[in-house]
Amino acid sequence: MNEMFENRNTVEISELGEFGLIDHLTQGIQYRQTSTILGVGDDAALISSANSEIVKAVSTDQMIENVHFNMMYTPLKHLGYKAAVINFSDICAMNAVPQQLLVSIGLSSRFTLDAIEELYAGIRLACDNYNVDLVGGDTSSSRIGLIITGTAIGEAPKDKVVRRSGAKPGDLICVTGDLGGAYFGLQLLEREKSIFMENPEMQPDLSGHDYIVGRQLKPEARLDIIKAFDKMGIIPSSMIDISDGLASELMHLSKASNVGMTVYEKKLPIDQDTFNMGVEFNIDATTAAMNGGEDYELLFTVQQSDYNKIENDKDITVIGYVTDLSQGNKLITNGEQTVELKAQGWKAF
């Protein structure tokens, strides 16, 4: 009888990593419902709807206290907002528009009703800003702190949905916004926390760094870009949101599309405050942009024929081009050195 509970698999989960674990757990899954268009392996699952011209996109994200956030420097309203927005971002990465959200929470007895109301005020603010309906969820007790799980549902015309798997050699690689700010926002918050822990009389000094702190505590999903694509008549060939770092996301597109990726350091969009904080922390801003994560910008590819549609958009930067798989994934540095891309961003285990 005891053999039932023996762990015969000696492989450590940390050896697999988050995505290796997902691949392992989902291998061999067979979809039985004809309504399931796309399952595991993208930013969101795709499900057919009653309207044959429309598909539904569904995605879920979980945030766990002391893993994904620290209550010492995370206001509950900001946390609720971020928990909703990171789910909206996954829907946007499919070129879809978020419409509904379900939120489940696990909380310990240390949280008061006022605290949970503040958390939900942030969730509701995000829903208001993105025109999303909060339609349900669940609540439970937790012995490990606060756990927030969101599930977002969106939709898009069937012929405009974008997956990770459509990039072709010759396509342009683009990103929205700027990169690395959220990482340095986190480093700044962690530094001020450490100072406070050593001397509680010292008050945190975040002055002059509203931008990067906001990038960490209150990110935004790029729904504006999805709407801009529609106006510009652009359907990206592949797309993903940048949650785990640019290098990691480039490798996801590479794997899904069976292509290589070449990007240029000099093309990476980096805000001045991000660059300055890199100097202060003695961390190269390029390292933060490539591996920092949590920027929630969009990484996408387009055909070269679409360049004239995006060239004047100040919120879109072309950072490289798609190559044949045999060329691999690489970064061309400012010194014209070729560096193989490696995913060194967020590791879940």
pLDDT for 110-122, tens place per residue? 899 999 999 999 9
Would you kindly state where each structural domain of the chain is located, as residue ranges?
Answer: 43-160, 164-340
Q: Per residue in 223-260, pLDDT tens?
A: 999 999 999 999 999 999 999 999 999 999 999 999 99
Q: What is the pLDDT, as a whole number, of residue 290?
A: 96
pLDDT at 27: 61
Taking the C-alpha atoms of 279, 284, 285 and 291 in order, what is their torsion angle to the nearest 10 degrees? -140
Which regions of 248-305 does DSSP assign to beta strands (E)?
260-264, 298-302
- Report the DSSP beta bridge partners of residue 173: 301, 320
CATH number for domain 164-340, candidates 3.40.50.12500, 3.90.650.10, 3.40.640.10, 3.20.20.10? 3.90.650.10
**Of 189, 298, 240, nearest to 19 (Cα)?**
240
Gyration radius (Cα) of the chain, Å? 21
Residues 178, 111 contacting (CB under 8 angstroms)? no
For residues 330-337, average pLDDT: 96
Tell me how far apart the alpha carbons of residues 74 and 63 are, in angstroms, rounded to a whole number.
Answer: 13
Q: Are 73 and 192 in contact (CB under 8 A)?
A: yes
> pTM to 2 decimals?
0.90
Is the per-residue pLDDT at 26 higher than 70? Answer: no
Please count the other Cβ atoms lying within 10 Å of the Cβ belonging to residue 247: 26
Q: pLDDT tens digits for 59-90?
A: 999 999 998 999 999 999 999 999 999 999 99
So what's the pLDDT on residue 207? 76
What does the pLDDT look like over 156-182, one tens digit per residue?
A: 999 999 999 999 999 999 999 999 999
Q: What is the pLDDT of residue 346?
A: 46
Instruction: Provide mean pLDDT across the span 179-187.
Output: 97
Would you state the pLDDT for residue 329?
A: 97
Picking from 12-16, 139-143, 189-193, which range would have the lowest pLDDT averaged per residue? 12-16
For the cut 70, the answer to whether the pLDDT of residue 130 exceeds it is yes
Cβ(261)–Cβ(322) under 8 Å? Answer: yes
- Give the Cα separation of 206 and 228 in Å (integer): 34
Residue 158, CA distances (Å) to 46, 47, 155, 303 in order: 10, 10, 9, 20
What span, in angstroms and rounded, lies between the C-alpha atoms of 26 and 18?
12
Q: How far apart, in Å, are the Cα atoms of 61 and each of 147, 151, 265, 320?
A: 11, 7, 30, 29
* CATH class (in words) of the domain with range 43-160: alpha beta
